[in-house]
C-alpha cells in the first residue's frame, strides 16, 4: 500500500507575513484529512516561521532545492545539513531549476546522494519538454533523467524516495496532462526503470506523483489512476481552498 502524498511547491512566492497567513488558512482543513501525507514547500526564508506554525500538526515541511555540500564557500547556497534541522522533504531537479539555473542530471545526482545521506526525503522531478514530447523523445528523456539522476545510489527502502512526473509543457500552463497519459508514463517508463535499477519491490513501493497544472477540479482524474500516488502542486498550492480540495481528492 502506497500512502499518497500531496505536496505544495510555493516556488518564489510568499513573504514571511504572507506565508503565515496562508498556513493559518491551510492548517485546519489539511489537519482534518487522514490517509494522505501533506507537505508544504515554501521558500527558504519562510521555513522557520512555517515550521513554528506546523508544530504539533500532521503537516510536513519541505524545501524546494539544496546544494550538495554540507557546508563551504558557496555564497547564496543552502546546505542539506541546514535543511535537515528544519524539513523532512526536499524537491530535487525541478524543471525550473534545470531550465533557468543550469541543473543537470549530474548535479541532480549529487544532490540526491547528499539529501539521502543527511536523512532528507527527496522528491525527484522528471519530465519531458514540449519539444521532446512532440519529437517522441519522452521515454528517452525520462529514462536518462532517472538513470543518471539515480546513478550510484543504493536504494532498498521505497519510502526513502519520491518521484514526481512533471511534463514541462504542463507546468504553470493550465494545460495538464490527462490522467491516462500520466499513468502510462509511470507504468511504462518510470516504474520499469526503477525496477531495473533497484528491483521490483522498490519499484512497486515507491510513490510517484503527477505535477503540472493540478487543480482541485481535475485532481480526481489523476488520483483515480492506479500508478499515480499523489501530486506535486504549484500555482494551486498558493490558494488554501484549492490545496485543501486537492488533498481531499487524494484521500477519497
Q: What is the DSSP string of the chain?
A: -PPPEEEEE--S---HHHHHHHHHHHHHHHHT--SSEEEEE--GGGHHHHHHHHTTSSEEEEES---SSSSSS-TT---HHHHHTT-SEEEES-HHHHHHS---HHHHHHHHHHHHHTT-EEEEEE---HHHHHTT-HHHHHHHHHHHHTTT-----GGG-EEEE--GGGTTSS-PPPHHHHHHHIIIIIHHHHHHHH-HHHHHHSEEEEESS--HHHHHHHHTSTT--EEEESGGGGSHHHHHHHHHHHH-
Choose, from 166, 221, 227, 242, the residue flagged as catalytic: 166
Considering beta carbons, is residue 183 or 213 the nearer one to ligand PGA?
A: 213
**Minimum CB–partner distance for residue 214 and ligand PGA (Å):** 5
Clarify whether 21 is annotated catalytic.
no
Closer to ligand PGA by CB, 227 or 242: give it. Answer: 242
**Residue whose grid cell is 497519459:** 181
Nearer to ligand PGA (CB atom), residue 198 or residue 229: 229
Q: Nearer Cβ to ligand PGA, position 80 or 211?
A: 211
Smallest distance from ligand PGA to CB 40, Å: 13
List the catalytic residue out of 37, 94, 128, 132: 94
Nearer Cβ to ligand PGA (193/236): 236
What contacts 240, CB < 8 A, 6 or more positions away? 22, 25, 26, 29
Residue 242 CB, shortest distance to ligand PGA, in Å, is 10
Residues that bind ligand PGA (CB under 6 A): 9, 166, 171-172, 211-214, 232-236
Any catalytic annotation for residue 166?
yes
Report which residue's Cβ sits closest to ligand PGA: 234
Active-site residue set: 94, 166
Amino acid at each position: 500500500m502506497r500512502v499518497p502524498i500531496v505536496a505544495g511547491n510555493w516556488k518564489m512566492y510568499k513573504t514571511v507575513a504572507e506565508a503565515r497567513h496562508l498556513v493559518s488558512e491551510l492548517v485546519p482543513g489539511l489537519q482534518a484529512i487522514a490517509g494522505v501525507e501533506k507537505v508544504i514547500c515554501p521558500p527558504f526564508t519562510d521555513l522557520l516561521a512555517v515550521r513554528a506554525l506546523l508544530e504539533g500538526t500532521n503537516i510536513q515541511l519541505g524545501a524546494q532545492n539544496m546544494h550538495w555540500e554540507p557546508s563551504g564557500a558557496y555564497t547564496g547556497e543552502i546546505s542539506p545539513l541546514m535543511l535537515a534541522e528544519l524539513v523532512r522533504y526536499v524537491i530535487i531537479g525541478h524543471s525550473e531549476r534545470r531550465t533557468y539555473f543550469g541543473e543537470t542530471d549530474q548535479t541532480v545526482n549529487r544532490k540526491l546522494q547528499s539529501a539521502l545521506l543527511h536523512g532528507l526525503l527527496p522528491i525527484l522531478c522528471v519530465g519531458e519538454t514540449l519539444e521532446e514530447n512532440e519529437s517522441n523523445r519522452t521515454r528517452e528523456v525520462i529514462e536518462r533523467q532517472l538513470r543518471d539522476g539515480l546513478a550510484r545510489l543504493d536504494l532498498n527502502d521505497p519510502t526513502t524516495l519520491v518521484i514526481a512526473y512533471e511534463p514541462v509543457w504542463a507546468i504553470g500552463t493550465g494545460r495538464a496532462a490527462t490522467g491516462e497519459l500520466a499513468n502510462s508514463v509511470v507504468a511504462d517508463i518510470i516504474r520499469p526503470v526503477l525496477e531495473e535499477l533497484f528491483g521490483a519491490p522498490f519499484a512497486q513501493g515507491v510513490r510517484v506523483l503527477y505535477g503540472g497544472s493540478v487543480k482541485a477540479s481535475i485532481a480526481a482524474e489523476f488520483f483515480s489512476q492506479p500508478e499515480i500516488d499523489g501530486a506535486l502542486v504549484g500555482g494551486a498550492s498558493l490558494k488554501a481552498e484549492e490545496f485543501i480540495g486537492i488533498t481531499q481528492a487524494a484521500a477519497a
